[in-house]
Structure 1
């Protein structure tokens, strides 16, 4: 279709690729709301679940750790589990973005905003 158009054909091809990338990135943003990761602390006694975008969506606490004298330890474990979930969410988002970059033929070290 674009034969013989020279640079115009290349520009049209680039515009089409940019539009595809925009569409795929928008879909990835939506998909990351559905992808989940689980962060843990205290050998699995506390688990925090988050979306790949880092939104905390669940917290599970093993009842065996509930004693008044361990209150500070439990609070620290909860915070550690949340931080672990957020770290895993960020890593997952980066992995998904890298996959998309590879599929679109872009440099894999391209840091796009997520």
Structure 2
């Protein structure tokens, strides 16, 4: 029974560390870009888009489709980096073991 109590304490400690890490991820950000930096998207570690920056030279009223593609590419780039950041931070808690549904 003592082993069970010790295991429960470890699980509770890990849960607390995970919550703290998730809160910290909200304060970290990554940047995704497209078109050589004419479109930049900032995403926090919780995969929330916090900013989209578009340089004037990216705006061509005759080619809106190109701007849409650039924004989409920059968002996907930032989301990939945010996922990598979250995996890295959470991996510290799990010793690199990927626990399905954890993040």
TM-score when normalising by structure 2: 0.89
Specify which structure has the higher proportion of helix: 2
Alignment of 1:47-86 (within 5 A): 47-86=40-79
Q: CA RMSD in A?
A: 1.5
TM-score when normalising by structure 1: 0.81
Aligned length: 103
- Quick one: which of 10, 16, 29 aligns to 1:23? 16
Distance 1:63 1:108 in 2: 44
Write out per-residue CA displacement over residues 24-58 of structure 1, whole angstroms, 9 at most, x where no aligned residue.
01111211111111111111111000111111000
Bigger Cα Rg: 1
Write out per-residue CA displacement over residues 67-93 of structure 1, whole angstroms, 9 at most, x where no aligned residue.
222321111101111111112111211
